[in-house]
Amino acid sequence: MFTTTDLAHISHDDIFDYEDEKWWSFIQVPLFAPFFLVIYEIRDDNSDVFYRTYLLSNVRQLRAALLDRSMNVNEVQILTPSNVDGKHSWEMNPLGSIHTGRYENYPDGPEAIVYELRDGRRIVEAGASDTESKITALEQWFSIPSFD
Q: 120 pLDDT band (50/70/90 cuts)?
A: very high
Distance CA 110, CA 103 (A): 8
Give the model confidence (pLDDT) of 88-107 as tens digits.
888 999 999 999 888 888 77
> Whole-number mean pLDDT of the chain?
82
Query: Nearest Cα to 123, choosing from 89, 83, 88?
Result: 83
Whether the pLDDT of residue 14 is over 70: the answer is no
Question: pTM of the prediction?
Answer: 0.78
32, 83 contact by CB (below 8 A): yes
Give the model confidence (pLDDT) of 60-75 as tens digits.
899 888 888 878 888 8
Backbone torsions φ then ψ of 99, nearest 5 degrees: -120, 150
37, 77 contact by CB (below 8 A): yes
Whether the pLDDT of residue 135 is over 60: the answer is yes
Which range has the worst mean pLDDT, 6-10, 34-38, 43-47, 125-129?
A: 125-129
Query: Nearest Cα to 76, choosing from 91, 90, 56?
Result: 56
Q: Which residues 6+ apart lie within 8 Å of 18 measured at CB?
A: 12
Average pLDDT over residues 36-46: 87
Q: What share of the chain is helix, strand, coil (3-state, %, to 5)?
A: 15, 45, 40
